Amino acid sequence: MEVIIYPTKEQANQAAADFVASAVVRNPRIVLGLATGGTPLGLYENLIEKYKKGEVSFAKASSFNLDEYYGLPADDKNSYAYYMRENLFDKIDIELENTHIPNGMAENPKIACEEYERAIKASGGVELQILGIGSDGHIGFNEPTSSLSSRTRMKTLTRETIEDNARFFDGNPEAVPTHCLTMGIGTIMESETVVLLAYGKSKADAVAGMIEGPITSMIPASILQMHRDVKVFLDEEAASKLKLADYYKWVYSRKPHPDW
């Protein structure tokens, strides 16, 4: 894992956007894995800016989102399909038909999840996966004790995640769907490169567990220690519980070349 710590999330978002945009420029047909929630909003804003300035085009790119609430139609303002159009897809030149999000209204979620897995494979696989992390260490909606080799499937959200996400539902936890369809941890682990973003104090424990703790399904993100190419972008607050924070900063400041 490459751990990159910036004083602020704005600086981390800019650096993450530079990395993502240059990957798209190098490989215009890139298959992106995308996340929702509060964390990637700044990254998406930076990518939209770069698109508007003509620095990057997504016209040939395709994408697969990590997850969707079960029971929310794509036009519900809290669905992740809606979020993606609002916060990224409608503001860049990606073709909507090349974007994929698990179908939260699938009659048979099991079949829908199997089809999602097949679509990812048929695309050649996710090349650059963007992730956030839950305060309980989840990635996608793979909550603690999820199988570390799981595939796309239905999951039940923990109370902690429902409470965390109530802010998007007018503060009402009762309004948060209890189920979701999410890429599995095994699915995420097959992506070529992972960019994980985490900001704020509320993520500090999960981040420390992910980077410096043992690999355990109690902190699903800790499996990323087994991934060959992960970049973790943090602000100081999210990094505040890392024992080796100074070492990570020292390594990054002495990087001989940005690509190495």
Q: Is 192 an annotated catalytic residue?
A: no
Contact between 184 and ligand F6R by CB under 6 A: the answer reads: no
Residue 53's CB is within 10 A of a number of other CB atoms, namely: 8
DSSP assignment of 12-69 equals HHHHHHHHHHHHHHH-TT-EEEE--SSTTHHHHHHHHHHHHTTS---TT-EEEESEEE
Q: Which single residue brings its beta carbon nearest to ligand F6R?
A: 132
Whichever of 62 and 182 has its CB closer to ligand F6R, that residue is 182
Q: Does 136 qualify as catalytic in the annotation?
A: yes
The residues, any chain, with a CB within 8 Å of residue 151's CB and separated by 6 or more, are 113, 117, 183, 184, 186, 187
Q: Toward ligand F6R, which CB reaches closer, 62 or 129?
A: 129
The verdict on 150 binding ligand F6R (CB under 6 A) reads: no
Looking at the Cβ atoms of 60 and 179, the one nearer to ligand F6R is: 179
Q: How far is the CB of 165 from ligand F6R (least distance, A)?
A: 7
Nearest distance, CB of residue 195 and ligand F6R, angstroms: 12
Residue 137 lies near ligand F6R (rule: CB under 6 A): no
* Contact status: 33 vs ligand F6R (CB under 6 A): no
**Does 235 qualify as catalytic in the annotation?**
no
Supply the minimum distance, in Å, between the C-beta of residue 237 and ligand F6R.
Answer: 13
Per-position DSSP letters for 197-253, written without gaps between them = EE-SGGGHHHHHHHHHS--BTTBGGGGGGG-SSEEEEEETTTTTT-TTHHHHHHHHH
The least distance separating ligand F6R from the CB of residue 86, rounded to whole angstroms, comes to 14
Q: Which residues contact 171 (CB under 8 A, 6 or more apart)?
A: none
Is 173 a binding residue for ligand F6R by CB under 6 A? The answer is no
Q: How far is Cα 180 from Cα 239, in angstroms, rounded to an integer?
A: 29
Q: Contacts with ligand F6R: how many residues (CB under 6 A)?
A: 14
Query: Is 150 exposed, middle or buried (CB count within 10 Å of its CB: 0-12, 13-18, 19+)?
Result: buried
CB-CB neighbours of 102 under 10 Å: 28
* Contact positions with ligand F6R (CB under 6 A) in 55-114: 66-67
37 near ligand F6R, rule: CB under 6 A: yes
Q: Does 177 help bind ligand F6R (rule: CB under 6 A)?
A: no
Q: By CB under 6 A, name the binding residues for ligand F6R.
A: 35-39, 66-67, 132-134, 138-141
Catalytic residues, by residue number, are: 67, 136, 138, 143
